[in-house]
Amino acid sequence: MAWFVTCPKGLEGLLVDEIRALGAQDVKETVAGARVMGSEELGYRLCLWSRLANRVLMPLHTAVVDDGDSLYEVASAVPWMDHFSVESSITVDFSGTGDAIRHTQYGAQRVKDAIVDQFRTATGERPNVDRGSADIRINARLAKGSITLSLDFSGDSLHRRGYRERQVNAPLKENLAAALLLRAGWPDIARQGGDFVDPMCGGGTLVIEAAMMAADIAPGLLRQRFGFHAWTGYQPELWQSLVAEAEARRDVGLAAARGQGLPNLRGYDVDVWAVGACVDNARAVGLEVALEQGKIRFEARSIANTQRHEGASERGLLLANPPYGERLGDIESLAPTYQQLGAAIKTCYPGWRAAIITSNPELGFELGLKARKKYRLFNGALASELLLFDVHTVEQAEVAQEQQSQRHEQRSSESSAAVAMLVNRLNKNRRKLKPWLSKNNIECYRLYDADLPEYAVAIDCYGDAVHVQEYAAPKSIDPATAQRRLREVEEALVTVLGVDESTLFFKRRERQKGSKQYQRLAEPSLYGASKQTAEGSSNVSSNVGSDTTVKEMKVREGAATFEVNLGAYLDTGLFLDHRPVRQRLAALAKNGRLLNLFCYTATATVQAALGAGAEPGAASSLSIDMSNAYLAWAQRNFDLNKLDKQKHELLRADCLIWLERAEALYAAQFDVILVDPPTFSNSKKMEETLDVQRDHPTIIDRAMILLAPGGTLVFSNNFRRFQMHEAMHKKYVVEDISAKTLDPDFVRNPRIHNCWLIRHRD
């Protein structure tokens, strides 16, 4: 018989090993699962003994489908009455979409209709549909135009063992817990008499799964019902013989608790209620004897109060699933927890192995331990890593310390040479830019932009303050190395610029989606002590040596004064590379009416209103953005430059929607229009997504309706692979001026933005 066994992504290799250990010979690994050939008995064993699987599927039919009707025909061709009776309730789990089927609910409906109609035609009756607790689950998976219809042999997901008497927040799934234990080598440690500790046990899943492995308890033994129980081919005698075998193995394993043969397993949690839940869940598995004998023990205890338990083995496994810090401000608040956890591991468990799962490498770094191995896996939808550590004894630590000292001396020598190289480059750039800066009275400029591959940062000077953006390092770069290089950047800046550490601001820049580049960063922290993450993104801000990341200051650009904030957001409120664009806009807008779409902090509007040199600026303007925070910032910029509120308006609106409706009121009214959209946005405030490459023809067409005869539309964006649509060249006079909008401080990075002048044809 053919079987398809599913599992969480990242566990496929472990699953294949487990299936082979259960007696299968023909096993092929695939994405999130494995294909297996084996007997019906193997199917039962997989349901009873797999610690890693989600589902065991029995494929019945695979065929190409072109549309909903062909899906119905394919499903009708399966002899469903050979597999279950009309008295059985059913449900259909449909996954995947394609050109033929775009909605999973529609796909499930068509498969269900085919099944029901087959029964009704043959018997005059139809099986009931029960989405909650159906007797029979049919799995339909659409991929690359083919549908595979399977009987769900397991029924409910196999990770639901049946022992969760009481739930806790964010519980770890049982099959993932088992995978962590296997990756950490728990079976071997247990066989050699090692103990187990989870210092942050929550509902006790890791402790209970460790106990079930050590006591040889089948994970499916508590389950009262599987999908095969309603299958017409079900062999109850064969199943009961496998259950009896599993019960006998369990009894032998639990008897070890009376003879002190079971390892000591400990779970600690600061929450007293969670500790009670752990005890109830352990009892539900049948571990009462182990609890009574003290082989399994749960206690209310914080990380700070962690102690090595009495009678602990010389070796063992500490495995923890600490919080990851996925929300705004969590990283800073969780850093001390990870630091305490790392200290407890080193102090209380020398000679042991430690394993920590986390989705945040920054927090993993706070443990202060060097991982000897890392495994990538998924905790639900979160890409995570299991970090494995060998905890040194005193003797091992002394040897390791000596080796580390030798490596440190070597790195220090290499680091000194690297810092000297960076200092030389910064000095060279300063000398080169100095005449231009002085001549044009510029105090905000880019000093360095990843000139040296070892130091992938952009360094911008704002008067006496320095804003450093770290480009996200490749995954091949060790976090400790990246951290060291940032400190070397700090050292070089202090040397070259003579700045105080409190005026240095470090952030990490990664590819952005939506409005994330404009989101406020987390609460303050000291650089090097912890990192902060913007909600929903990986942009990290950290201020050097100051007790606040919010650094509001006033800077000059030509005749304009702007407010910038070097700490609160990823961007500062002033895009330095657009300096020439703002100057050109000031010249174009002379005595005219300006429209600024996606205006951000409206610095371009300010420059246009102030004019170029002695020339007058824009007579009036309308600046539009959908962020209240940035419109308030724009108003402060207007106030700083004494712009007339009656002539220069700010409007909160979705620019895409506003453009759809603007023709009636504003047709041919603006002499100059600036359109500077984000590359991509799916902000919740917008009614639809924005993709600048896809949507720019529509945006330009609608904006050109509002452009007066003889006027100019300035279209700009930061998408490096942007290409102006051919239709725009045919409709309008289009001039690419990107190369002309790069000042000397940005010539090293000519793809930093695109800029086009667009005019009506005569």
Q: Tell me the CATH number at 263.
A: 3.40.50.150
CA–CA gap between residue 624 and residue 595 (Å, rounded): 8
pLDDT of amino acid 306: 87
Instruction: Kindly state whether residue 396 falls inside one of the protein's structural domains.
Output: no
Instruction: Kindly state whether residue 238 falls inside one of the protein's structural domains.
Output: no
Total number of domains constituting the chain: 4
pLDDT of amino acid 327: 46
Instruction: Kindly state whether residue 558 falls inside one of the protein's structural domains.
Output: no
Query: What are the CA-CA distances from residue 68 to residues 76, 139, 198, 270, 687 (Å)?
Result: 12, 17, 50, 54, 30
| 3-class SS of residue 287 | coil
Residues 647 and 753 in one domain: yes
**Among candidate residues 366, 391, 416, the one where a domain is terminated:** 391
CB 640 within 8 A of CB 563: yes
**Among candidate residues 391, 424, 440, the one where a domain is terminated:** 391
Instruction: Kindly state whether residue 401 falls inside one of the protein's structural domains.
Output: no
Instruction: Kindly state whether residue 119 falls inside one of the protein's structural domains.
Output: yes
Task: Give the torsion sign (CA, 174, 177, 183, 185).
Answer: negative
Instruction: Kindly state whether residue 701 falls inside one of the protein's structural domains.
Output: yes
Domain ranges, residue 86:
2-152
Residues 187 and 283 in one domain: yes
CA–CA gap between residue 40 and residue 29 (Å, rounded): 20
Q: What is the largest CA-CA distance in the chain?
A: 97
CA–CA gap between residue 249 and residue 498 (Å, rounded): 72
DSSP H stretches of helix in 259-293: 272-285, 288-292
pLDDT of amino acid 549: 46
pLDDT along the chain (762 residues), means of 10: 94 96 93 94 97 97 93 96 96 87 91 96 94 93 93 95 84 94 96 94 95 96 95 97 96 78 92 94 93 93 89 93 66 84 92 92 85 88 90 66 59 68 92 92 93 92 92 74 84 86 78 43 30 30 40 88 88 94 94 97 97 90 94 96 95 94 93 94 64 94 96 95 94 96 93 95 87
Q: Tell me the CATH number at 112.
A: 3.30.2130.30
Residues 469 and 534 in one domain: yes
How many Cβ atoms from other residues are within 10 Å of residue 140's Cβ?
23
Nearest 5°: phi and psi at 198?
-120, 110
Residues 145 and 184 in one domain: no
CB 687 within 8 A of CB 657: yes
Strand partners, 207: none
Instruction: Give the residue from 684, 624, 620 showing the smallest Cα distance to 659.
Output: 624
Per-residue burial over 227-246, b = 16 or more CB atoms within 10 Å of its CB, e = otherwise: bbebbeebeeeebeebeeeb
pLDDT of amino acid 383: 84
Q: What angle do helix axes 205-214 and 272-285 make, rounded to 10 degrees?
A: 30
Residues 537 and 618 in one domain: no
Say which residues have a Cβ less than 8 Å from residue 222's Cβ, sequence separation at least 6.
Answer: 161, 162, 163, 284, 285
Residues 352 and 447 in one domain: no
Q: Tell me the CATH number at 434.
A: 3.30.750.80
Count of helix runs (H) and strand runs (E) in the chain:
21, 30
Residues 348 and 416 in one domain: no
Residues 191 and 108 in one domain: no
CA–CA gap between residue 370 and residue 713 (Å, rounded): 55
Residues 593 and 719 in one domain: yes
**Among candidate residues 359, 391, 423, the one where a domain is terminated:** 391
Instruction: Kindly state whether residue 228 falls inside one of the protein's structural domains.
Output: no
Residues 660 and 730 in one domain: yes
CA–CA gap between residue 273 and residue 203 (Å, rounded): 9
CA–CA gap between residue 476 and residue 344 (Å, rounded): 29
CA–CA gap between residue 663 and residue 670 (Å, rounded): 12
Residues 291 and 178 in one domain: yes
Say which residues have a Cβ less than 8 Å from residue 373's Cβ, sequence separation at least 6.
Answer: 387, 388
Instruction: Kindly state whether residue 440 falls inside one of the protein's structural domains.
Output: yes
Residues 278 and 382 in one domain: yes
